[in-house]
Amino acid sequence: MKSMGTLEDILDNIGCGICVSSLEDGSILFTNEKFRRFFRTNIPQKDMEQMLEGTGIKSGTGEIYVAAEKKWFDVHRTEIVWVDGKNVALSTVYDITENKKYQQRIEKQANNDFLTGLYNRMRCEADMEQYIKQSKKEDGEGALLYMDLDDFKHINDGLGHQYGDVLLKAISHSLQRIVGIESNCYRMGGDEFIIVVTHTKYWMLGKILEEILEIFSKPWFLKGADYYCTASMGIVRFPADGDNVQELIKKADMALFEAKKSGKNQYAFYGDGLESGSFKRLDLEKNMRNATMNACNEFEVYYQPIVDVSRPGNPCTGAEALIRWNCENLGFISPAEFIPLAEYLGLINPIGDYVLKKACSSCKYWNDTGHPEYKVNVNLSVVQLLRNDVAERIQTILQETQMNPKNLTLEVTESLAINDMTRMKQVLGKIKELGVRVALDDFGTGYSSLNHIREMPIDVIKIDKCFIDDLGKEPFEEAFVRLVCELASTIGMHVCVEGVENKQQFDILEKMQIQMIQGFYFDKPMPEAEFEKKYL
Ligand code: C2E
Ligand code: MG
Ligand code: MG
């Protein structure tokens, strides 16, 4: 008895919990004081034994979490012969709750995005590895959604980063409330998110997509006003589209680009149709980067004359500069195809500067060789307009080329005005201070609102080709062009009609007292030398 007492004393003073249970009937034969203190709540003997056994640790080491105690334990289990000669299981138990909590805190910091509280890129990669494995093992299919906010830059740059942050948080919050993806939303950085629909939730994909787009159908209230911010998504399926995270993200990004190119605020699946297109895109991207690095010498600026039809003989008044890319590896690529990618990749800035410089020096030459009135129009992408130093850059180019600012017209679209009229007005105001004119391009397409004409400081409205295509066929188009012309002349703006291809269209427009026309009916865009031969 005494020796048992001594043993008990020793065991009670040991730093870990000890539990001895019979291997025959599972009854607990001995626990030390530490063990009893660990499990204050009196877990019945049977349950305790089950719990220890339930760790799956027959012999060896493992970890258990005891929900009733909210504690983590390290358990070591060995089979030994007890003092009475019976075969027993000896379990030693260490409380590792503090370590565990610390580890979780560190993991949270390493796995979560500081701003939104969503998981971050690192966690996404780790999770995806598991999800891919599981879906393969269980022969299921999951989806990865790569989401990018459309024109988030407008809001961020326009309202300030603190409001951009508010929006990112609000969006994250809404995403996490969608059933099925609550714990699978990740912020990858900036305005990019990944949402994973695991194979067990794949059947909900349609509804999830609907709910995501629904989030963006309503305006966000920021800085006292409503702002719209939509999102585009590229979707890949796993493991079908790839069995590693990097490959899946790359393909989802390609699909995302397709969604952007098709007009944003939508999703596109990475699929068969896309594959050849995306390889082409990768090629395009590589070649465009090279071309831009090589002083843009694969790019050429063409000029399409703009004629004044209000004067006899319809004299040329100048031209619109239109970029052409004759890529050494891929052949001729039209701007409609590469400008959106250039914008997406940010390469539009150096390319745009190149066009502006070329166009200004050409126009300066025309002005100096007998046509002081010739003007040149240059397209400015919204990405360029968003640069803080846009006006300074234009000014520098005007100075370098010695061109008369009043002969330069910059063509912009309404896309910035939709989200941030204040900023649009401010940017255009600065540009106009240089003495440059501004034209509203592609008017009538997309979001056009007559109100924009009134609010934006513009000099010229360019009516889009799509209205001219149906002139003489559809009464609406004719009425629209007439309306815009009357409105413009009332407020002292000029109208230029684009895409006039035939005599019938021209005749209708002539009766409306249009002033400027640009279209194949007069001439196509042509290389500089050809334009100068014909029009100088
Ligand atoms: P845009 O600024 O609206 O330019 C007019 C487009 O319509 C040009 O196409 C021109 O060739 C075409 N066009 C003009 N008249 C007619 C016609 O009678 N019939 C037909 N079928 N087409 C006509 P292009 O050169 O292919 O350029 C397409 C778009 O690419 C431009 O539309 C512009 O948005 C963009 N783009 C072109 N060059 C630049 C550039 O240097 N910078 C930027 N940011 N965008 C550019
Ligand atoms: Mg244009
Ligand atoms: Mg246009």
Residue range 434-464, pLDDT digits in tens: 999 999 999 988 666 777 888 889 999 999 9
Instruction: Please give the pLDDT value at position 272.
Output: 52
Cα-to-centroid distance, 462 and ligand 2 (Å): 8
Helix (H) or strand (E) holding 234: strand 231-238
Instruction: Please give the pLDDT value at position 1.
Output: 44
What contacts 240, CB < 8 A, 6 or more positions away? 141
Which ligand approaches the C-alpha of residue 506 most closely? 1
Would you state the structure tokens that stand for residue 446, as one six-digit string?
């997309």
Atom of ligand 1 nearest to the CA of 442: 3
Q: Contact 390/427 with Cβ under 8 angstroms?
A: yes
Q: Which residue, among 152, 267, 157, has the nearest Cα to 205 in the 3D structure? A: 267
- C-alpha to C-alpha distance for 377 and 302, rounded to whole angstroms: 11
- How do residues 17-47 score in pLDDT, each as one tens digit? 888 888 888 788 888 888 888 877 566 555 6
Would you state the structure tokens that stand for residue 134, as one six-digit string?
């599981």
Choose one of 362, 379, 438, 503 to mutate for the ligand 1 pocket test, by most ligand atoms within 8 angstroms of C-beta: 379
Q: Contact 324/299 with Cβ under 8 angstroms?
A: yes
pTM: 0.68
Atom of ligand 1 nearest to the CA of 413: 34
Which ligand approaches the C-alpha of residue 411 most closely? 2
Give the three-class secondary structure for 209.
helix
Return left, alpha or beta for 138; rule: phi > 0 is left, psi -120 to 50 is alpha, else beta.
alpha
What's the DSSP call for residue 112? B
Mark out the alpha helices in 177-204 (DSSP H runs).
Answer: none
323 touches ligand 1 (CB under 6 Å): yes
Instruction: Please give the pLDDT value at position 275.
Output: 55
- C-alpha to C-alpha distance for 301 and 294, rounded to whole angstroms: 16
Helix (H) or strand (E) holding 443: strand 437-443
What contacts 450, CB < 8 A, 6 or more positions away? 487
Cα-to-centroid distance, 440 and ligand 1 (Å): 14
Give the three-class secondary structure for 94.
strand
DSSP string, 455-492: HS--SEEEE-HHHHHTTTT-HHHHHHHHHHHHHHHHTT
Phi/psi of residue 202, each to 5°?
A: -60, -30
Would you state the structure tokens that stand for residue 495, as one six-digit string?
């109208």
Cα-to-centroid distance, 440 and ligand 3 (Å): 8
Residue owning the nearest CA to atom 3 of ligand 1: 442
Instruction: Please give the pLDDT value at position 2.
Output: 47
318 touches ligand 1 (CB under 6 Å): no
Residue owning the nearest CA to atom 10 of ligand 1: 525
**Segments of the chain with pLDDT less than 50:** 1-2
528 touches ligand 1 (CB under 6 Å): no
